Amino acid sequence: MTRHYLFLLGSSRPDGNTELLARRAAEQLPTDVEQRWIDLAEHPLPDFEDLRHDSDHVRPTEGSAGLLLDATLAATDIVIASPLYWYSLSAPVKRYLDYWSGWLRTPGLDFKATLAGRTLWGVTALAHQEQEVADPLIGSLSNSAAYMGMRFGGVLLGNGSKPGDVLKDTEALAGAKTFFAQEAPLARFPYEQTDTVPSDVMPVPTR
Ligand SMILES: Cc1cc2nc3c(=O)[nH]c(=O)nc-3n(C[C@H](O)[C@H](O)[C@H](O)COP(=O)(O)O)c2cc1C
């Protein structure tokens, strides 16, 4: 099956470290893998409105929401390229993920069933030297993948403050060489044991 990688760029500036690192990793993908790159800054989503318990969601067909929904449904692999902002995901990426909650309730989409088994990856750049400060970002992506019954390929981390700094992070560049070649196991919540049933059949609370 042909893989379709969707790269979602979540920085608030162009040509930043996160994108540079993501592009280094993407260079290693086989040529038969399709790549689509979308900069969330060029396709801004309106504030997310939580209508889950009020009315039926309607499938968005136009605008940024329509474009991002179609791109998401078409992707076998979703790569969240978000800089570390306040120890977590950038606001454009967070908002995109909030839209998933609406798409989960949109009749006819089967959003969860469609994404189940597909793979979520992360790429981030941070100014802090100690990488564990990015744990909230990693946990956010990993738990989201577990909730959706997706695979999780992990997060490629690079260090840098001003654009281009990440190109001096030799460890990150080495990691980029093999990042997408890594196995991406089915994501699990931290409380799940590896020998328990997969999260897509676990009784995850409805929300
Ligand atoms: C709003 C904002 C919040 C940030 N928060 C953090 C942070 O919590 N930890 C950190 O190490 N760096 C933080 N930084 C620094 C960025 O992560 C760093 O500059 C990174 O290289 C930006 O990625 P980019 O070049 O792809 O935009 C922050 C930068 C901005 C603009």
Q: Does the residue 206 lie in any domain? A: no
pLDDT at 126: 98
Instruction: Locate the ligand 1 atom nearest the alpha carbon of residue 165 and give its number.
Output: 21
User: Tens of pLDDT along 3-14?
Assistant: 999 999 999 999
Q: For the chain, what percent of residues have pLDDT higher than 70? A: 93
Q: Does the residue 174 lie in any domain? A: yes
pLDDT at 170: 98
Q: Does the residue 207 lie in any domain? A: no
| Predicted confidence (pLDDT) at residue 198 exceeds the cutoff of 80 | no
Whether ligand 1 lies within 6 angstroms of the CB of 84 is answered as yes
Q: Does the residue 184 lie in any domain? A: yes
CA dist., res. 43 & res. 37, Å (int): 12
CB 196 within 8 A of CB 180: no
Quick one: DSSP state of residue 29? S
| Predicted confidence (pLDDT) at residue 43 exceeds the cutoff of 60 | yes
181 Cα: distance to centroid of ligand 1 (angstroms): 27
CATH of the domain at 176: 3.40.50.360
Distance of CA 34 to the CA centre of its chain: 17
* Tally of structural domains, the chain: 1
| Residue 120 tokens, joined | 């979520």
Q: What is the largest CA-CA distance in the chain?
A: 51
Whether ligand 1 lies within 6 angstroms of the CB of 128 is answered as yes
| Cβ contacts of 87 within 8 Å, gap of 6 or more | 133, 134, 136, 137
List the domain range (segments joined by +) for residue 95: 4-201
Q: Does the residue 162 lie in any domain? A: yes
pLDDT at 99: 97
| Cβ contacts of 16 within 8 Å, gap of 6 or more | 83, 125, 163
Instruction: Locate the ligand 1 atom nearest the alpha carbon of residue 11 and give its number.
Output: 27
70 φ, ψ (degrees, to nearest 5): -60, -40
| Predicted confidence (pLDDT) at residue 48 exceeds the cutoff of 70 | yes
> Looking at ligand 1, which residue's alpha carbon is closest to its atom 31?
85
Q: Does the residue 108 lie in any domain? A: yes
150 Cα: distance to centroid of ligand 1 (angstroms): 27
pTM of this structure: 0.94
For residues 65-71, give the mean pLDDT.
Answer: 98
| Residue 159 tokens, joined | 């260090």
Q: Does the residue 129 lie in any domain? A: yes
pLDDT band at 197 (very low <50, low <70, confident <90, very high): low
Q: What is the mean pLDDT of the chain?
A: 94
83 Cα: distance to centroid of ligand 1 (angstroms): 6
β-strand 151-159 against 77-81: which pairing, if any? Answer: unpaired
β-strand 34-39 against 77-81: which pairing, if any? Answer: unpaired
